[in-house]
Structure 1
Amino acid sequence: MAFPLPDTAYPVTQPDGMPHRSTVFLRAVIDHPRWRVGDYSYASAHVPPSDWAVHLAPYLYAFSPEKLVIGKFCQIADGVQFITASANHRRDGFSTFPFAIFHRRFENAPSLPGPGPDTVIGHDVWIGQGARILPGARIGDGVIVGAGAVVAGTVAPYMVVAGNPARVVSTRFPADVAARLQDLAWWDWPIEKVEQHEVAICGANLALLEAAKAEIGGAGGAFPS
């Protein structure tokens, strides 16, 4: 059976042939000007929402200045939320109260913060159940985010983070291996090649993957921006 196309809304089929509506390829179900999402990244929810963009990033509005950028082959579990910069309050004054929201005078409003940073998720990132990703977080390729973690700041590639606030609890691979994996950028290969080398990708056969990369040619993928 052919691998589902990245614009397939419901890529998982149940035994009775019906689509499993609790898991979606995000590229196919999100039409939002401030989202950027890569091929094959999926999200799951025990109760499928009517609007996946609002469900996952409730403070990212069409008029928001920031973006939410998610790479390829990411895995987003039930209950994950991205708290993007438009959720912020101003914190440098005597009060954090957003007066402008209530008197509805937004231009040059002194109670509102300036534009915040984008939130950027790399490729092949697994975000566990109920995690919260805070404004401006930058999560590197291959990171695993533990269930319930609250993640801020920058997480280097191939780290495992957990807790509130999230801290690095382990590294998935030595630094040289992580660097070689990013150079491989298997997530940028044609999906047929990814499937062909699934055993090597999931079985950590770096030598075989590097030989395959030499056959495919081309430069490695860049961090999403």
Structure 2
Amino acid sequence: MTPDPSTVHPLSAHERVVFLKPLVDGTKVVAGDFTYYGDPDGATDFAQRNVLYAYGPERLITGKYCGITTGTRFLMTGAAHPSMGALVTEHARTIMAGSPKDIECIAATEDLEQQ
């Protein structure tokens, strides 16, 4: 017997396994009829917990028969940062404990050494 793709839990005894199609709205995530996801810590929260940086027009589209395992994360293009030469992100500045000017000087020195 084929499971009903509109059912959230295709295996009623296993809450950790869900069909994604009835859980997503089709705007940012489009799931195939029998695409399933397994997670013991909240499988029904797939789109919120596993599709990251979905800020732009892009969409995650899965095939009709896909299995997605616990912990899989999809990083959408909203995670992309523009490249601006020697400038780095705030996180790197914090780790290095330097000012943006210090980092630019270091980058310029390294460029000279490589030439």
Q: Secondary structure of the residue that 1:43 maps to in structure 2? A: strand
Structure having the higher helix fraction is 2
Length, aligned pairs only? 90
Note closer, same or farther for the CA distance 1:66–1:92 as it changes in structure 2 (3 Å cut): farther
| Cα displacement string for residues 41-96 of structure 1 (whole angstroms, at most 9, x for unaligned residues) | 000002115522011112224xx221111111101011110011111111243324
TM-score normalized by the length of structure 2:
0.68
Offset at residue 4 of structure 1 (A):
1.4
Flag structure 2 segments of 5+ consecutive residues without an equivalent. 91-115
Query: Percent identity at matched positions?
Result: 31
> Once superposed, which parts of structure 1, at least 4 consecutive aligned residues long, lie more than 3 Å away?
none
Note closer, same or farther for the CA distance 1:92–1:69 as it changes in structure 2 (3 Å cut). Answer: farther
Tell me: higher relative CO, structure 1 or 2? Use CA pairs within 8 A at least 6 residues apart: 2
Contact 2:23–2:44 under 8 Å retained in 1: no
- The partner residue of 1:89 within 58, 81, 93 is 81
Distance 1:5 1:34 in 2: 23
Q: What is residue 39 of structure 2 aligned with on the other side? A: 45
Gap runs ≥5 in structure 1: 15-19, 99-225
Distance 1:12 1:66 in 2: 31
The alignment status of 1:56 with 2:55, answered yes or no, reads: no
- TM-align CA RMSD: 1.9
Distance 1:42 1:49, change over 3 A: closer
> Any conservation in 1 of the 2:32–2:65 contact (CA below 8 Å)?
yes
Pairing 1:70–2:69 present:
no
Matching residue within 24, 28, 34 for 2:28: 34
TM-score with structure 1 setting the length: 0.37
